[in-house]
Amino acid sequence: MQTNKQIIQEIRDEQKRMATEQLQIAMKLSTHMNKQDAFNNRIIDLLETNPATKKKGVIEDLENVKDRVFQLETNNKITAGKVSIGLFILTSLGGFVLKLLGFFDK
């Protein structure tokens, strides 16, 4: 049978072991959180515009690209309309000329 002093010593030893284990876990968690924070800051730097360096972020660049794509689409539609009208006019003139030539052949 153990004495009270031995039991208390066992409890203290177990508490020390558990405290050391908790410290190791806390250190690992802290290291992980520091790495995660650095990673998050890097992602934010890529996504958002940095006023200090005046470097545009991906989000602002995406807005600029959207505007440029919209302008290109509009220009393509206008060009396609001009080509269609031009072809219509040429086809009409060609048909008219063919009818006119047919009229003179008679």
pLDDT for residue 9? 95
3-state SS, residue 48: coil
Q: Model pTM greater than 0.85? A: no
Q: With contact defined as beta carbons under 8 Å apart, do 57 and 46 qualify?
A: yes
Tell me the average pLDDT of the chain: 90
Helices (H), 1-106: 4-47, 58-105
pLDDT for residue 104? 72
Residue range 79-101: mean pLDDT, rounded: 91
**11-63 tens-digit pLDDT:** 999 999 999 999 999 999 999 999 999 999 989 888 888 777 778 888 888 88
Quote the percentage of the chain above a pLDDT of 70: 99
| Domain ranges (residues) in the chain | 1-47, 56-106
As given in the structure block, the two tokens for residue 106 are 């008679």
Q: With contact defined as beta carbons under 8 Å apart, do 11 and 3 qualify?
A: no
What's the angle, vertex CA 69, arms to CA 63 and CA 70, rounded to 5? Answer: 90
pLDDT for residue 106? 64
Write the DSSP assignment of 23-42 as a string of letters: HHHHHHHHHHHHHHHHHHHH
